[in-house]
């Protein structure tokens, strides 16, 4: 089995779709957590970060930046990009929509309250949910883009899983999304990952604080002493 290293904060964030894709393509990986500004400075000094940003995926002798590049690299090497150009087009189209949909879940922990976060997620779901349902129905295979599972299904399911942690009933009247979610989370590699210590918990205040501390930036304004990590 190939081994990979994924460097990011101590949490899910923008590295999580890559973790799901590593799991879905049976790549063994290690999480390297950057927990202090000094560790980030040292990492940047190595020159390993092409744009000075995390996450960083090290695999097959490559150092990848940009989570969208990571999931597509893993999709190609793991045959999760469909079977032809039309499938690949649908993969990109649905994965793009899934990224827009996921963004609201990514921001949820940074909101002033769970109520505000859930309201934003509910609005986003009412926009995207019917379109994802229609797309799966039109495809006819139970998947989004092809006759078999692709990376679009994996990243969409990752987003749905985050939504479910905040709004547990969202799939009760969305049968195609529910079936897709069940199928992808039952995939052996994904299921093993979700049950493993590699899977970080649902992000909360601790994660928001950890990110601000490493990046030395302000906390969301509703948090006490919001500028406590701002340098200078």
Residues that bind ligand GSH (CB under 6 A): 13-14, 52-55, 66-67, 215
CB of 147 to ligand GSH, least distance (A): 29
Give the residue from 194, 127, 179 showing the smallest Cα distance to 149.
Answer: 179
Residue 56 CB, shortest distance to ligand GSH, in Å, is 9
Nearer residue to ligand GSH within complex by CB, 21 or 54: 54
Q: In what order do the strands lie in the sheet with 56-59?
A: 28-33, 3-8, 56-59, 62-64
CA distance linking residue 79 with residue 85, whole number of Å: 13
Of 69 and 198, nearer to ligand GSH (C-beta) is: 69
CB of 214 to ligand GSH, least distance (A): 9
Pick 7 or 161: Cβ nearer ligand GSH:
7
58 dihedral zone (left: phi>0; alpha: psi -120 to 50; beta): beta
**Interacting residues of 232 by C-beta distance below 8 A, sequence separation 6+:** none
Say what angle helices 67-77 and 16-24 make with each other, to 10 degrees: 0
Paired tokens of 182: 């069940």
Q: Of 65 and 185, which has the nearer Cβ to ligand GSH?
A: 65
Rounded Cα gap, residues 6 and 8, in angstroms:
7
Question: Looking at beta carbons, which residue is closest to ligand GSH?
Answer: 53
What is the 8-class DSSP label of residue 110? G
Which residue's CB is nearer to ligand GSH, number 55 or number 82?
A: 55
Work out how close the CB of 54 gets to ligand GSH at its nearest, in angstroms, rounded to a whole number: 4
Q: How far is the CB of 57 from ligand GSH (least distance, A)?
A: 9
């Amino acid at each position: 089995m190939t081994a990979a290293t994924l460097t990011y904060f101590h949490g899910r964030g923008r590295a999580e779709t890559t973790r799901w894709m590593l799991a879905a393509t049976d790549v063994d990986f290690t999480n390297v957590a950057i927990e202090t500004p000094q560790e980030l400075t040292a990492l940047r000094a190595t020159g390993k970060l092409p744009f000075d940003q995390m996450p960083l995926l090290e695999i097959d002798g490559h150092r990848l930046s940009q989570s969208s590049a990571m999931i597509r690299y893993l999709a190609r090497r793991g045959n999760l990009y469909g079977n032809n150009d039309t499938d690949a087009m649908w993969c990109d189209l649905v994965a793009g929509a899934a990224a827009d949909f996921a963004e609201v879940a990514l921001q949820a922990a940074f909101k002033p309250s769970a109520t505000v976060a859930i309201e934003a997620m509910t609005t986003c779901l009412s926009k995207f949910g019917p379109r994802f349902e229609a797309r799966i129905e039109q495809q006819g295979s139970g998947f989004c883009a092809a006759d078999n599972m692709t990376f679009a299904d994996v990243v969409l399911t990752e987003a749905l899983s985050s939504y479910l942690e905040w709004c547990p009933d969202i799939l009760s009247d969305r049968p195609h999304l529910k079936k897709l979610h069940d199928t992808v989370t039952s995939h052996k590699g994904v299921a093993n990952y979700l049950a493993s210590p590699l899977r970080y918990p649902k992000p909360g205040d601790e994660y928001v604080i950890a990110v601000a501390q490493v990046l030395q930036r302000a906390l969301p304004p509703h948090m006490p002493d919001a500028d406590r990590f701002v340098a200078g």
